[in-house]
Amino acid sequence: MPEDNTNRDRIRALVRDVLDKIPADSNEGPASAGEAGATRFIDVAPVNTKAAESPVTRDESSKKVITEDDVRGLESGAVLRIAEGARLTPLAADIVREKNIEIVRRASRRGSTATKMVAVGSDHGGFKMKQDLKTFLTESGHRVHDFGTDSEDAVDYPDFAHAVARAVADGTADVGIVIDGAGIGSAMAANKVPGVRAAACYTVQLARNSREHNGANVLTLGSGTVNTAQMREIVGAWLGTEIKEERHKKRVAKIEAIGRQYQR
């Protein structure tokens, strides 16, 4: 048994050493945030969390990699703050799920023009506009993960809205954009995923408001309600706006608290 423990400690040390060398913006490696499965990720919380609905139990936001040793001592239902780009090892993610630990990602201090990983998706009605969207995002310096659909053959919008929402909730994407005929159905589907705040926006003003006041992390658009030029203006405004004021962050925290009341 002592020998098994020694080998286990050596393996842990080796894994930690390898993960520490992975660049923060890398999408590869076993510690990808996406492996956290059902872990809930929410926008946070400035350093002062007195106004937040869920006070932080432990702050590990100085670390790039969260291992099982960082979460093992936490009690069930605890709140753990981590850095925006931090990764969870598979073992750490398992403990988080088992103990229903809430993950709070510390907001980045980077400007709103920082490069983002954008998850995009559409149904058949939004396919053409999605292609234009990807071009616009790439030209703007953002990275894109396309979850489909890949043609104008009829499909069901909830499938793609769900895929995009999961990427945002799991932390593998910074934000998400989904396009269907009206934008409403995809917003409804995306908002079923814990930690997601999807907003259907048809104007630049609504796009800015959804981010600045509501901390929207998924934008839904209707290909039948806006044209390509309008889509670009809306997306540009949405990506260029961040929630900053404490009063708005406090209200968003209450939105998240409502959602947690109905999670089993």
Tens-digit pLDDT profile for residues 47-86: 333 334 457 788 887 777 888 888 888 988 888 888 766 7
149 cis-preceded (ω within 30 degrees of 0)? yes
Rg of the chain in Å (alpha carbons): 19
Catalytic residue among 124, 142, 162, 213: 213
- Is pLDDT larger for residue 253 or for residue 263? 253
Of the listed ranges 41-45, 136-140, 175-179, 235-239, the one predicted with least confidence: 41-45
* pLDDT score for 260: 84
* pLDDT score for 48: 33
How many Cα atoms sit within 13 Å of 206 on the Cβ side?
Answer: 12
User: Is 145 in the active site?
Assistant: no
* pLDDT score for 131: 97
Residues above pLDDT 70, as percent of the chain:
75
Per DSSP, helices labelled H in the chain are 2-20, 68-71, 90-99, 127-139, 157-170, 184-190, 204-212, 228-239, 246-261
* pLDDT score for 51: 33
pLDDT tens per residue, range 187-232: 999 999 999 999 999 999 999 999 999 999 999 999 999 999 999 9
Task: Quickly state the pLDDT bin for 12 (edges 50, 70, 90).
Answer: low
Residue 165 has pLDDT above 80, yes or no: yes
Query: Taking all residues of the chain, what is their mean pLDDT, rounded to a whole number?
Result: 81
* pLDDT score for 199: 98
pLDDT tens per residue, range 230-243: 999 999 999 999 99
CB 115 within 8 A of CB 91: no
Q: What is the mean pLDDT of residues 127-151?
A: 95
Of the listed ranges 8-12, 41-45, 50-54, 238-242, the one predicted with least confidence: 41-45
Q: What is the mean pLDDT of residues 157-186?
A: 96
* pLDDT score for 94: 86
All structural domains of the chain: 2-105 (no CATH), 117-241 (3.40.1400.10)
Tell me, yes or no, if the pTM score tops 0.75.
no
